Amino acid sequence: MGETPVEKYRAISPAEFFYKYREIAGFSNPARAIYQTVRELVENALDATDAHGIMPDIKISIRKVDEIQEFYRITVEDNGIGIPPDVVPDAFGRVLFSSKYVLRQTRGMYGLGVKMAVLYGQMTTGRPVEVITSKPGFKRIYYFKLRIDVNRNEPVIIERGSWRKNREWHGTIVSITIEGDWGRAKPKIKEYLFKTAIVTPYANIVALTPDDEIIYYPRIIDKIPRPPLEVKPHPHGVDLELLKQIISSHNYTSVEELLIKGFQSIGEATAKSILQQAGIDPGKPISELSDNELLSLVNTLKSMKDIRAPSIKAISPLGSDVIIAGLKRVFQPEFVYAVSRRPQAYQGHPFIVEAGIAYGGKTPMSDDDKPIILRYANKIPLLYDEGSDVTTMVVKEDISWDHYMVSFPAPIAILVHVCSTKIPFKGVGKESIADVPEVRKEIKLVLMDVLRELKKYLSKKAKEEELKKRAEHLTKYIPEVARGLSVIVANGSKDFEVKLVQKLVSIISRRTGIPESEIQQVLESIRIGT
C-alpha cells in the first residue's frame, strides 16, 4: 500500500480568491469582461456625482490599443467628488476595501467591481490601472499608476505624481487595459448605456467606441434624486456579530447608551423597555455582558414590535418625474405614467419599489407573452438573468393583463426600480433580484398602480374611437339630408344647404365630442370619393 497523501493547508487573500474565481464577479470571458469593466467604472462615476448632489457629466472611451491582440483601454471620467490621494492606492488596489460598506444606498455593494477589472487587466494584459483625481477645493491633481499584489491583497504603486490645477476641475479619470471581445460585447454595452440613460435623464453621458461611433445622451432635466445619507443600523436588522462589531468600534459605557447611540429608532424610553424585556440592567457596563446576555439582547431587538420603521434617508428613489422624463426621452410614448410606492422594510432595511409604464409612440412591440421589462436595482440596469428575476416572475405570473385591456404583442414597456440599503441579489454578479416575499408583494402592487392608469387611458381611447366611428357613420348622411331638406324647405337653395351642412356638423360634434374640424375632414373625403 502506498503512503497516505498529506493534506496541505494554507490561507489565501481575498485578491487571490477572486483572481482564481473571477467568474463569480462577472469576468467569465472577454466579452463579458469588457461589459463588466465599463459597467463598474460608470457606476462608480455616477455614485461619485449624483449621490453627492452633483449633476453627472460622464465621459467614456473604449479604444483598441494593440493591432494583433484584442487589448482595449477603457477610460471613464466623471466630475464627481474625487478621491483623497492617500486613499487612491487602497481604493483601486485592495480587494474588499470600499467607501460603500455603510448603511447607505449605493450602486455598488461589495467593493469588488473596479478591483476585479484591475485584476482582470493584470491577468490578461499585464498593464496597471491609471488614476487621475482631485477633490473640490484641492489645488492639485494627483496621478497614480498601480497594480494589485495578489498574494498580499495590497496595492503596488508603480508611479505617482501631482501637478497644480490651472482650472477648477474635480472628479476622477480611471483607465484600465484588458483583453476583450468588442464585437460580442458591443450590443450589451450599448444596451447598458441606453438603459442607464433612461434612469439618469439628469446626466450627460457620452461614449466613444472602437468603431469611432459617438453615443450621446444629453441631460434633459435639471432635477436630481435626493442623495442618500448614511444611517445607523435598525434594531430589526441586527445579529450577534453586528452587535459585537458596534460594541468593538465605539466607546459606549453602558448598554443603554449603546442602544440609544448605536441604533436608529431607539430613544430613552424604548431602550429601557428593550433592556427590561431582555433582563439586562441599563447601567451595566458593556464589557461585563455575557454571551447569553448579548444573544438575549439581539433576540429582543429583532422581536420588538413598537420600534419605528427604518429611516428612508439612506435610500434615494428616482421619483416619478425622473422616470417619466427618461421614458419620454427614449420611447416618446402616447401614454406614460410612473409611481413610487410607500417605503417598506426587509430584514431591518428600508426599500422602495417604483414603476413606470410607456405605451405607444415609438415603444417597440413586446413579446407574445409579456411586455418589454426594464429592471433596475439602486439605479443599476439589470441585463442578464431576466428569467430568474422576481420582477419577471411577477409580470408573467401575478398580473392578469386582460383585466387591464392589454393583449400581447403590444407596444408597451414596464420599468421597475427597487432601491434599498440591502438589495437581495441572487449572486455577486448583481444581475437579478431574488424572490423575497416583501419585495415581490411591492412589485405586484406598484405594477397594479401603473396598469390601472393605463386601463383608464385605454378605456378612454376605446370610447373615443367608438364615438369617432359613430361620428363618421352619421357624417356620411349629411350631404343627402342637407340636399333633401334644401329642396323641401328652400326650393333647393345652395346657401340654405351650406348652412344646414354646417349646422349638422355642429350637432354631431356636440353629441360625440369629436372636433368639428375632424368631421369636416371626413365630410371632405366623402365629397372627394363621390
Q: Is 343 in contact with 312 (CB distance < 8 Å)?
A: yes
**108 marked among binding-site residues:** yes
Reported for 250-255, long-range contacts at CB under 8 A and 24+ positions apart, including other chains, are: 252/286, 253/285, 253/286, 254/282, 254/283, 254/284, 254/285, 254/286, 255/280, 255/281, 255/282, 255/283, 255/284, 255/286, 255/289, 255/297
Q: Is 470 in contact with 512 (CB distance < 8 Å)?
A: yes
**111 marked among binding-site residues:** yes
- Give the whole-angstrom CA distance, residue 111 versus residue 23: 16
**100 marked among binding-site residues:** yes
- For the record, the C-alpha cell of 329 comes out as 426621452
Q: Is 313 in contact with 421 (CB distance < 8 Å)?
A: no
Q: Is 106 in contact with 225 (CB distance < 8 Å)?
A: no
Q: Which of 159, 148, 180 is nearest to 70 (CA)?
A: 180
DSSP 128: P
Q: Is 78 in contact with 167 (CB distance < 8 Å)?
A: no
Buried b vs exposed e over 343-362: b needs ≥16 C-beta within 10 Å?
bbbbbbbbbbbbbbbbbbee
- Give the whole-angstrom CA distance, residue 234 versus residue 126: 44
**110 marked among binding-site residues:** yes
- Whole-Å CA distances, 284 to 160, 256, 293, 433: 51, 8, 11, 42
**78 marked among binding-site residues:** yes
- Give the whole-angstrom CA distance, residue 292 versus residue 241: 13
**115 marked among binding-site residues:** yes
**251 marked among binding-site residues:** no
- For the record, the C-alpha cell of 308 comes out as 419605528
Q: Is 367 in contact with 408 (CB distance < 8 Å)?
A: yes
Sequence-ordered list of residues with C-beta below 8 angstroms from that of 249, at least 6 positions apart, any chain? none
Sequence-ordered list of residues with C-beta below 8 angstroms from that of 169, at least 6 positions apart, any chain? 79, 134, 141
**487 marked among binding-site residues:** no
**109 marked among binding-site residues:** yes
- Give the whole-angstrom CA distance, residue 338 versus residue 336: 7
With residues binned 3-state (H G I as helix, E B as strand, rest as coil), the percentages for the chain, rounded to 5, are 45, 20, 35
**415 marked among binding-site residues:** no
- Give the whole-angstrom CA distance, residue 525 versus residue 508: 17
**90 marked among binding-site residues:** no
Instruction: State the binding site.
Output: 44, 78, 99-100, 108-115, 430
* Binding positions for ATP: 44, 78, 99-100, 108-115, 430
